[in-house]
Amino acid sequence: MIDESKSTFGTFEDRAIWLIGKLLPDFPKWGPMDAYACAGNLGRESDIQMIQEGGQKPPNGGWGLAQWTGPRRTQFMDYCKRSGKDPNAMSSGYAFLFVELTGPFANVIDLVAAAPDLPSKVAAFEQHYEMAGVVAEGDRLAFATRAQNAWVSRPVPVKPTPAPPPPVGTTPAPPVAKGTTMNPFSIGSLISLVSSAPSIIQGVMTIISEVEAGYKKGVAAGGDPVTIIEDIINALVANKGAVASAVLGPEPSVSTSGAIVAAPKVAVK
């Protein structure tokens, strides 16, 4: 869990992802390789933490993400005092890094961006921003590579897939008012359906009788029973709309208010 108010959090990889995630939007001239170079240098200096340089006692030695030393350490502490920031917080360390890279060390952005590869970018950041007493270029590059691996393999949230647009020629369903529930059936339409049940049953029975009679006529005329059944099924499928209309009558319509309006009943012969 990231808590920028603390002096550290998580692993180096967690902190490198946090740092790179801030650098890339804040410095549009930089690509990921440039941010890896910065993370690699800060990794060598402080493991990307707000810590005191080992073997030194405050106010001596380096302090913070970049191990600011001497006048730059004093400038950092003065900056925190003026802005009301906690000098121990990770957020304060990044804020001062941003101040320097957009102020007295703004040329570092262009110099690192112009370097052709990761080792050159790591070296450019060290030479023009850190200006370290102990260069340890191999360590800086190793930290930069770890930062790169962490950033590339970080879990990226998956955006939900938007719903596909409705087919051409269809009308989207009207929006439902908040707090209401879509219910296509009303008590009235249910009563109407129940009251028409006898006529529906009668219509189904009529169709069955006609199918049965046609089958008997076909067999009596010497037709093949299997072929007769296939013909009947094909006819029903081909005319399913007419069959449904004969049994159920015309489909109900929907009024502008959303209520179902029953269609006039059609007597079944």
Structurally, how many domains does the chain consist of? 2
pLDDT tens per residue, range 177-227: 665 554 554 555 555 555 555 666 676 677 777 777 777 877 777 777 777
Q: Quote the pTM value.
A: 0.61
Q: How far apart are CA 127 and CA 120, in angstroms?
A: 10
Residue 89 belongs to a domain: yes
CATH assignment at residue 135:
1.10.530.10
Q: How far apart are CA 221 and CA 201, in angstroms?
A: 30
Kindly give, in sequence order, each residue whose CB lies less than 8 Å from that of residue 260, ignoring residues fewer than 6 positions away: 184, 185, 186, 188, 189, 252, 253, 254
Same domain, 28 and 127: yes
Q: What is the rounded (10 degree) CA torsion for 70, 75, 81, 83?
A: -150
Same domain, 112 and 192: no
Q: Which residue(s) pair with 127 in the sheet? A: none
Angle between helices 118-125 and 107-114 in degrees, nearest 10: 160
Residue 266 belongs to a domain: no
Same domain, 138 and 219: no
Confidence of residue 262 (pLDDT cuts 50, 70, 90): low
Same domain, 18 and 145: yes
The residue range of the domain holding 83 is 12-152
Same domain, 145 and 202: no
Residue with more model confidence, 2 or 79: 79
pLDDT tens per residue, range 124-163: 999 999 999 999 999 999 999 999 999 999 998 777 888 7
Task: Write down the pLDDT at residue 224.
Answer: 75
Residue 59 belongs to a domain: yes
Q: How far apart are CA 12 and CA 19, in angstroms?
A: 10
Quick one: which of 56, 48, 238, 37 has its CA closest to 140? 37
Residue 241 belongs to a domain: yes
pLDDT at 268 over 50: no
Residue 214 belongs to a domain: yes
pLDDT at 246 over 70: no
Same domain, 198 and 257: yes
